[in-house]
Each structure stands twice: as structure tokens, then as C-alpha cells.
Amino acid sequence: MKKFYAFVAAALMSVSLFAEAPAGLEAALAESYDVQNNVVLCVHFVGDATVCGDVYFVGSFSGWAESFDGCPKFREVNGFAGWYAAQAPFAEGFQGKPIHAKADGSFSWDYQTGDVNAWTQIGENAANITAGYDDEANVAFNAAGSYIYEVSYWKKHKTACTIVPKHNYTIILYAPVCEDTDYAPAVIGDFNGWSEGATMNADFDEDMNLIYTYTINDEEQHSFKFRQAGISDWSNQIQVMDTAGNWSDCGNIELPVVSGDTTLVIDYSSELYKWTLCGAAPLDTTPYPVIFMAELPAGAPAAVEVIGTFDGWSGTALEEIEGVWGVMLLDITAADEFKIREAGTWDNQITQR
């Protein structure tokens, strides 16, 4: 059986490219925008970063909602052809990025700006730009002001100006062997907004081996993966063993470019694969209000936040009282994961020696 799997590394990288801003651009931004209280992102879209419609500033200030509602639109800077700017109110942990609307004006994560190498800093103010999970960049801003960049391509070099074909993809899964469990796998991905797993259908192949099937209708190069059906978190999904014998979650599977409807066979039945909670009950996913408190190492920065699955990795500020950092009443489940870091940046987080 042909195996489909991907290993995705979200290694942190820094932007090193730097160039001078066009004469008068920063003054024009200061005159047209409130750079004292907002993040004003000015972008020159060049190369493969074709603009053929509306581009919006999406980020933590809009709750990372999969909609352009409440998101400022990038507008061409007066007197500077090809340079677009948008502003949003600055707050601790501010993050945001440009996302191009689809041809019909709707939202898609496919058309966000490209990875770290797509960005060139123009001028003095530098955002903290790090690699995301799937060939995109995460952009964090530590202070209000104007930030000027050139962006040379969109995520995965795709463009909203080209219509991507849709096909019916029939997924056939040979799941990892897991005795004494009565759950079924679900397929989840771009086709349903990663919001709910679609329970797969149990069947048998010609050799009477148990398989699971599901047909999705989606665009080429969209992604999907598997997790246990009936849960709303990632506490039970398929993991793969690397060459050193360590287990990690399987990466996303990309829908291939094909000429028509097709079938994908994913064989995860060997000893290289397992379910996170094979033979165990799922973790309790009921959210409970808790008081979160932590004693941090000496030399903590002035602004600290807890960030995790409970808040969509957007960051929740902690307050320091007599050496103890905390926040009142976070809704956290037993399946949630979290980290503690300096507000707005992964460059300074708590690590274990």
C-alpha cells in the first residue's frame, strides 16, 4: 500500500532582509494613520504575491475568526502606487497578517502571506516573524507604530487570482491496530474548516481487511488528517515513529493535483503508527473555570502570558503579585496544552534544561 504522510517542522526563523523605505512613505503613514496607538502594517506586494482583489489585516484583534468581519482592509497609500496599508488597535500579544480574499470575496487560510522568506523588512521597525505550521508566517508586533514590508509570495506560492479545481477525493484509511476500542476515525481538514471531524465509514477491502472510507469534495492542495470521531480536540489522533524511536503526530496530508475524481489510500496499519490514546478513554473535554497560577524563574520579562489550545494559541496576559503570576478563571479542559512565554513572542519562553 502506498503511504501518505508528512512531517511538518515549525522551526523558528528570523527575518534578515532589510531595505530602505521609499522617501516620504513613513511620513505619509504617520499623516494618514494613528501610528501612536495602532499597528499600521504597510506592504508592497511584489513577485508572486499578486493582488487581484481585496486584502485584509487579520489577527488576534479579530479573534482569528475565519471571516473578514471586523478586519481592516488594506488600501493603497496615497502617492505610493503598489504600497498598501491597514491599521488595527495595538494590545499586548498583538499578532496579524495580510490575507487575500477569494474571488467571491470569502475567507480562506490558503491565501495568507507566505513563509518567513517571503518577507523583506523596509525601514526601521521590525516585527517578529516566525515560521508557521504549514508554509505560512506568524507575525507578532511588540509595540504600536508603522511596519513596512515587501512580500514576494502567498502561502505555498498559491494565488487567489487563479481558480483551483475541486474534485471528489475518496479517502481509504487503514488505521493503526488498536484492540478493545469501539471508536471510529474521523477525517478533518480544509474541506470542513477544521471545525468538526467527519466520521468515516467502516468497510472491508477485497482481502477482508478492515478499512475506513469517506469522500470529500475539496480543492487541490488542501489538507486533511485523522482523529478520533466524536471529540472536539486533538487528544486522540494518529502518531508516527521517527528513526530515533520517538512518537509525534502525523502531519497534514495534501490533496494532490489530479485530472478528476480520485481515490487516496492511506496505510497507517504498520507498527510505525499508533493512536495517541490507543485502548484508553478520551480525555474529559468539558471546560472548567480554573484559577491559573505559576511561579516563574527569576528574571521574568515585564509582560508574561499563558498561551495554549484553550485560547486558540492567542495568549492570555498574566499578572504578577508578590512573585506569583496568575489569571482568574480560565476555561480549561483536561485535554488542553499550554506554554508560558514573554507576551507576543516565542523568542523568550520557559524551557527545561
In CATH, what is the architecture of 18-157? Sandwich (2.60)
pLDDT reported for residue 144: 96
pLDDT reported for residue 280: 60
Bridge-based pairing state of the strands 55-59 and 38-45: unpaired
pLDDT digits (tens, 9 = 90+) for 92-108: 999 999 999 988 899 98
Residue 32, H or E segment: helix 25-32
pLDDT digits (tens, 9 = 90+) for 117-131: 999 999 889 999 999
pLDDT reported for residue 322: 79
Distances from the Cα of 279 to the Cαs of 178, 182, 248, in angstroms? Answer: 7, 9, 18
Contact 173, 202 (CB under 8 A): no
pLDDT band at 19 (very low <50, low <70, confident <90, very high): low
- Predicted confidence (pLDDT) at residue 10 exceeds the cutoff of 90: no
pLDDT digits (tens, 9 = 90+) for 52-82: 999 999 999 988 988 999 999 999 999 999 9
Calculate the average pLDDT of the chain.
87
pLDDT digits (tens, 9 = 90+) for 268-307: 999 999 999 876 655 667 778 888 888 888 888 989 999 8
Q: If phi over 0 gives left and psi between -120 and 50 gives alpha, with beta otherwise, what is residue 116?
A: alpha
pLDDT reported for residue 95: 95
Least confident of 88-102, 198-212, 319-333: 319-333
Contact 336, 308 (CB under 8 A): yes
- Predicted confidence (pLDDT) at residue 12 exceeds the cutoff of 60: no
Choices 2.60.40, 3.40.50, 3.30.1360, 1.20.950: CATH for 166-275: 2.60.40
Domain ranges of the chain: 18-157, 166-275, 288-342
Residue of 221 and 139 predicted with greater confidence: 139
